[in-house]
Amino acid sequence: EYENVRVQHEEVKQNRNQVKKELKCLKEMQAPWTKKIQEAEENLKNLDMKTRDNTAEIRSISQKYKEKQDALEMKDKQIEEINQAFRVKKDEETNRQKKIYLTQKLIEEWKNELDTMAVSENLQPHIDAVNNELKKLQEERAIIDNDVSDLRAEKNNQEREEKRIIDRLGQLNNIMHMKEENLKMRSRDTHSALMWLRKNKDKFKKKTCEPMMLEINVKDSRHAKYIENHISSNDMKAFVFECQEDMETFLVRDHQKLRVNAVCAPAESCAENLPSRPIEELHRYGFYSYLRELFDAPLPVMSYLCHQYRVHDVPVGTQKTRDMIERVIQETNLRQMYTAEEKYVIKVSAYTKQNLSSNMCLREAQYLTSSVNTDERRQLENQQQGIRNMLKSLDARLTALFDKQKVLEHKDNKLRQEKKELLERGNRRRQLESKIGVKCDSLRQLEQDAIDLEKEFQLANVKIKEINKQKAELVTELMNLMKKIVPLNIAKIALALQISRVTAEKNRLQSEYKAGTAQLRAAQQRFHELDNRKQLLYEKCMELLKQARQVCRLGPDQVFLDEFQVAFQTLPNTLEEIDAFLNEEKTRASCFTGLSASVVEEYNKQTQEIQQLTEYLEEKKNELNNYKQNISQVKEKWLSLLKVMIEQINGKFSKFFSSMQCVGEVDLHMENEEEYEKYGIRIRVKFHSSTELHELTPYHQSGGEKTVS
């Protein structure tokens, strides 16, 4: 075992020395590349300094050029302002001459008019008389205007009220029209009879009522279903009469053969009949009203319904009533009642004297979904007629006032014109004399404000010549600046080309240097691995040698005897083989004492088993070696691709950091080569020239540095 380890140690040592030589060669090859890259960086730095100086000088000259150009433009503006000022003065002189001519002409006309005008007579008494007439006329017009305003306000109020009434009647008519259309759809004969009744009301002695569905107005549309479920559909379409004679007249009606229903209200009105008990006594059962209080109807209709259907004594309840219906039937002795959605009828059995109740669900309302207040409609129609009469009266009064206003207005205009003529006759001479004096003063001022255009023209030319001289100096300076800036721009382009060439050369050198660096790192890693393995094998050899000396009872300084060395050389190399050899010799020795068939059989059997186990062990060793070899091949292939990819990332990462005047590296970090799950990417950065490369952690770098990384 020691010899095997020693042989492995020698092989690893030779491999390590070979890798060490390769590593030395690679380092020697890398040295020139490093020097060239440093030279390229120094060259780039010098070129960058020259470019900055060149750019600063170009910027300075450009700024001066812009300032001179702005000054040149300012001179052009000054020349334009001088010309504009001269044009303004020229226009002012032209306008002055024109005003002098027009003023002289106007003064001449006024003087001629003044010469032809006679001395003004005394017109004041006549003017006072006209003023008195105007004052009386204005007072009379004010009275009429107030009357017109009052009448118009009253008319507007009446028109607004009429519009409100018309709108409300329209709403009521729409509801009635809907109810009539509903009647027409359900009974065409009843609708035809209704039309006949409206045309022939003069044939009846007492009041006649249209079909109940038109006369009944439900106060709340939600209660319509109770009334329609209580009154038969035939009675809903029936006409109601106060006397039997009128009903017979209606039923005969010109032999039209229409199938309609008609009923006669009782002779004694039942509309005001009282219920059997106040509704307050039924509140505890959920009842809130009798049917009669849920709708309005003409007196004959209400009297008939109270007499025929006892609507004044049929209560309407809620869901509470439905929930306690058995108690309600037993305690109230009601014969008919309504809950929220059902109708109950209670009868007394003639044989058992017990209450028998039946209930049915309420059907939805069909006839009374909308209602019209007839009293309101009649009142609105009367109001409308009164308003129309009032409006006619107001229009007649307004027309009379307007006619009177026109007469007074015509008279007022005539008096004002007369007064105006009288005043003009008295004031015209004084006005002309005053106007002539003012215009003469204006003429003298215009004559004094004369402008010497020749002098102004010469002054403008002197200023323009001076400015043109300054412009010539500015143009000369601009040309000199142009001559300076052209060579600088050419030099800037040349520097840019040099920087491009040097940068390309530097990138090429860095690429080649990185390729060599990757090989150097791989060689260094291989060297360290072999060196570590050599050290481990050396330590193992020393440990085995120490164990062998202890077994042979030799001291640290003693050497093996020659006969021991010869004996050891004849023995197998491994401890297992020595044990097997020893057992074999023991077995042979035991064979000399005596043999038996069972011992021989057992020996042959064990020998065969040993051979089988040896073959099995050899087979498994071969499988294990193949498996290790496959793992090693896959690992080498995967690890090489991983390292190449990380080298590419490292190249780009380093390039980006160098562009920011910083340093950054990315490499593969592994504590143990066989523990793949612990492989990781290590990022090391340096943001300041005074610091070293540090691994990127959540705690060492600042937030901005971590964000940039």
Q: Considering its fold, how many domains does the chain have in total? A: 1
Range(s) of the domain holding residue 349: 217-370
Q: Write down how long the chain is.
A: 709
What DSSP letter does each residue of 342-362 carry, written as one string? EEEEEEE-TTT--EEEEEEEP
The whole-number pLDDT of residue 695 equals 75
Strand 217-218 to 239-241 pairing = unpaired
| Burial group, residue 183, by CB count within 10 angstroms (0-12, 13-18, 19+) | buried
Tokens describing residue 345? 């009828």
Q: Is residue 434 part of a domain?
A: no
Q: Is residue 616 part of a domain?
A: no
Q: Is residue 227 part of a domain?
A: yes
The whole-number pLDDT of residue 278 equals 92
What DSSP letter does each residue of 273-340 carry, written as one string? PPPSS-GGGGGGGT--EEGGGGEE--HHHHHHHHHHH-GGG-EE--HHHHHTHHHHHHHH--SEEE-S
Q: Is residue 303 part of a domain?
A: yes
The whole-number pLDDT of residue 590 equals 62
Residue 517: closest CA among 3, 170, 15, 37 = 37
Q: What is the mean pLDDT of each run of 10 residues along the chain (709 residues)?
A: 72 77 71 73 84 86 85 87 87 85 84 66 71 84 84 83 74 67 78 86 88 85 88 90 88 72 90 90 92 90 93 92 89 89 87 82 81 64 82 85 84 81 69 80 80 83 87 83 80 78 76 69 76 78 73 63 63 68 70 60 78 80 78 77 83 81 81 73 78 72 64
- pTM value is 0.35
DSSP 369: S
C-beta separation of 485 from 61 below 8 A? yes
Q: Is residue 134 part of a domain?
A: no
Cα dist. 29→33, 517, 650 in Å? 8, 10, 21
Q: Is residue 8 part of a domain?
A: no
The whole-number pLDDT of residue 503 equals 80
Question: What CA–CA distance (Å, rounded) separates 613 from 250?
Answer: 131
Show Cβ contacts of residue 650 under 8 Å, excluding neighbours closer than 6 positions: 514, 665, 666, 667
Question: What CA–CA distance (Å, rounded) separates 58 from 484?
Answer: 9
Residue 226: closest CA among 135, 290, 151 = 290
Question: What CA–CA distance (Å, rounded) separates 59 from 36?
Answer: 34
Q: Is residue 236 part of a domain?
A: yes
The whole-number pLDDT of residue 113 equals 74
The whole-number pLDDT of residue 694 equals 72
Cα dist. 271→263, 334, 439, 466 in Å? 16, 21, 101, 119
Q: Is residue 57 part of a domain?
A: no
